A and B are shown apart, each in its own frame.
Chain A
Amino acid sequence: DQQVKQNSPSLSVQEGRISILNCDYTNSMFDYFLWYKKYPAEGPTFLISISSIKDKNEDVSFTVFLDKSAKHLSLHIVPSQPGDSAVYFCAARFGNEKLTFGTGTRLTIIP
Chain B
Amino acid sequence: EAGVAQSPRYKIIEKRQSVAFWCNPISGHATLYWYQQILGQGPKLLIQFQNNGVVDDSQLPKDRFSAERLKGVDSTLKIQPAKLEDSAVYLCASSTGTFVYEQYFGPGTRLTVT
Please report A residues at the B interface, Cβ cutoff 8 Å.
Answer: 4, 32, 34, 36, 41-46, 49, 89, 91, 93, 96, 98-104
Please report B residues at the A interface, Cβ cutoff 8 Å.
Answer: 4, 9, 40-45, 48, 56, 91, 93, 98-99, 101-108
Of the candidates B41, B91, B105, the one whose C-beta lies within 8 Å of that of A103 is B41
Tell whether, in the assembled complex, residue B101 and residue A34 are in contact, meaning their CB atoms are under 8 Å apart: yes
Instruction: Give the secondary structure class of A's interface.
Output: strand
Tell whether, in the assembled complex, residue A99 and residue B103 are in contact, meaning their CB atoms are under 8 Å apart: yes
Decide: A103 near B40, CB < 8 A? Known: A41-B107, A46-B103, A46-B104.
yes
Tell whether, in the assembled complex, residue B42 and residue A101 are in contact, meaning their CB atoms are under 8 Å apart: yes
Tell whether, in the assembled complex, residue A46 and residue B102 are in contact, meaning their CB atoms are under 8 Å apart: yes
In the complex, which residue of chain A has the Cβ closest to the Cβ of B4? A43
How far is B41's CA from A104's CA once the two chains are assembled, in angstroms?
A: 7
Most chain A CB within 10 A, of B101, B102, B105, is at B101
Decide: A98 near B42, CB < 8 A? Known: A41-B107, A43-B108, A46-B104.
no
Tell whether, in the assembled complex, residue B101 and residue A93 are in contact, meaning their CB atoms are under 8 Å apart: yes
In the complex, which residue of chain A has the Cβ closest to the Cβ of B42? A101
Of the candidates A34, A98, A103, the one whose C-beta lies within 8 Å of that of B48 is A98
Q: Which residues of B contact A4 (CB under 8 A)?
A: 42
Knowing that A46-B103, A89-B43 are A-B contacts, what are 16 other residue pairs whose CB atoms are under 8 Å apart, sorted by A's residue number?
A: A32-B101, A34-B101, A41-B9, A41-B107, A43-B91, A43-B107, A44-B43, A45-B105, A89-B42, A91-B42, A98-B45, A99-B45, A100-B42, A101-B42, A101-B43, A103-B40
User: In whole Å, how far is A79's beta carbon from the nearest beta carbon of chain B?
Assistant: 25
Most chain A CB within 10 A, of B9, B44, B99, B103, is at B103
Decide: A98 near B103, CB < 8 A? Known: A43-B4, A91-B42.
no
User: In whole Å, how far is B77's beta carbon from the nearest beta carbon of chain A?
Assistant: 15
Tell whether, in the assembled complex, residue A43 and residue B98 are in contact, meaning their CB atoms are under 8 Å apart: no
Tell whether, in the assembled complex, residue A96 and residue B98 are in contact, meaning their CB atoms are under 8 Å apart: yes
How far is B101's CA from A100's CA once the two chains are assembled, in angstroms?
A: 12
How far is B103's CA from A101's CA once the two chains are assembled, in angstroms?
A: 13
